[in-house]
Structure 1
């Protein structure tokens, strides 16, 4: 029984190391996906980023739980190991909930993006003195080779197309391409569908990352609780052995008080 509990102990210690490594990988992946969504937050809205934010928080919490699991496993205290197992269960459940949440947002993202982009487009055209908003639209046009929200007709109220709809914008200073006054070959498609596909792809990566993390980390649940069961069985076996030894000690007859069968029997004198 002691060997079995030791095997589970080293298995759980190995899991905690892998759990910490997976938390670091999860932190990097969720942080990268959050960044890719964050740079277009003005066009897609902040609600789309919440699953990635939650996944990033769970990666940080998982590092702490891995350290707690390592310490409790080395101490071999049953109640502490059970508590560490419960924490792992909570992490796995929340990560799976993050997967479900990302898929729900993925399914309903089209309306949110079109609403956010239309509102931001109107705000940009209303506040024409704000150069930062105009630069964001220029970067979006050049990056996705699109124009406006639904197409070039969105700029009909302004009377002219921005140069970025022709493929030239703030990025041209890096590429050393000058602005041109000829904007006859402009992009025909709008940016709404392009951002929609982009955001759906990032959310799908977030969902798959959360699902893989929850499945892989769930293996530690079984290992942790099997270790707690092995500790309990070892304790029961130790108590059983001690009880048997104690009962055997008190139940053994004292043969020294009995006379030897070969010794002569002395008769009383009258």
Structure 2
């Protein structure tokens, strides 16, 4: 009986170590994906970030449950083991729900981005200060994605001039390529499409991360 109890105890301890390791990996992955979405939150809207936020929260909760499970394994009280097991099942269910949620957002993200980016563009267009925060954000976006306006350079018709960021010149930032010497080549595509593709890619990664995490933790 003593040998059987010890085997069970070491098995539970091993499971908790693996569970904690999966939580650490999940925390890093979800945090990175949330950061990549957070960078362009003004253009894509905060609704797009929610699945990644939930996944990050689940990673933190998973770490806490792994710690509880570790403490439980030492005492091996049946009620504590049952409670820990129920908590783990809830975590797996929520992580799978996060996968479903991310896929739903992924499927509808184009509608959210269109309304958000257009509203933000009109708001920025009304600002005449070239050093305003909103203007600098647009400059960085246009340099990063090599785009101009929401649908193209024609979006700046009402302003009478196209910003230099539409031909590769923008705020100094080590993330961006060096400035062009002049505005010889104007970006013809709008920022709406590449930003939409970027957001869909990040959401797909969030969904796959949640799915893999739930499958691994079930296993």
Answering whether residue 51 of structure 2 is matched by residue 51 of structure 1, we say yes
Whether the 8 Å CA contact 2:110–2:196 is kept in 1: the answer is: yes
CA distance in 1 between counterparts of 2:175 and 2:3 reads 66
Match of 2:151 in 1: 150
CA distance in 2 between counterparts of 1:87 and 1:157 reads 57
CA-to-aligned-CA distance 1:41-72 (integer Å, 9 cap, x gap): 00000000000101111111111100110111
Match of 1:64 in 2: 64
Aligned residues: 218
Please report how far the alpha carbon of residue 174 of structure 1 lies from its aligned counterpart in structure 2 after TM superposition: 8.6
CA distance in 2 between counterparts of 1:58 and 1:161 reads 45
Alignment of 1:247-266 (within 5 A): none
Match of 2:167 in 1: 166
Alignment of 1:1-270 (within 5 A): 2-129=2-129, 131-171=132-172, 182-219=182-219
CA distance in 2 between counterparts of 1:212 and 1:176 reads 35
Give me the CA root mean square deviation: 1.9
Whether the 8 Å CA contact 2:69–2:84 is kept in 1: the answer is: yes
Please report how far the alpha carbon of residue 9 of structure 1 lies from its aligned counterpart in structure 2 after TM superposition: 2.1
Please report how far the alpha carbon of residue 152 of structure 1 lies from its aligned counterpart in structure 2 after TM superposition: 0.8
Moved over 6 A (4+): 172-176
Q: TM-score normalized by structure 2?
A: 0.93
**Structure 1 unaligned spans of 5+:** 220-270
Whether the 8 Å CA contact 1:109–1:200 is kept in 2: the answer is: yes
CA-to-aligned-CA distance 1:151-179 (integer Å, 9 cap, x gap): 11111111111000011111378989667
Please report how far the alpha carbon of residue 4 of structure 1 lies from its aligned counterpart in structure 2 after TM superposition: 3.8
CA distance in 1 between counterparts of 2:208 and 2:87 reads 22
Which secondary structure state, in structure 2, belongs to the residue aligned with residue 156 of structure 1? helix
Whether the 8 Å CA contact 1:142–1:168 is kept in 2: the answer is: yes
CA distance in 1 between counterparts of 2:177 and 2:92 reads 50
- Pair member with larger Rg: 1
CA distance in 2 between counterparts of 1:199 and 1:4 reads 51
Whether the 8 Å CA contact 2:168–2:179 is kept in 1: the answer is: no
Match of 1:222 in 2: none
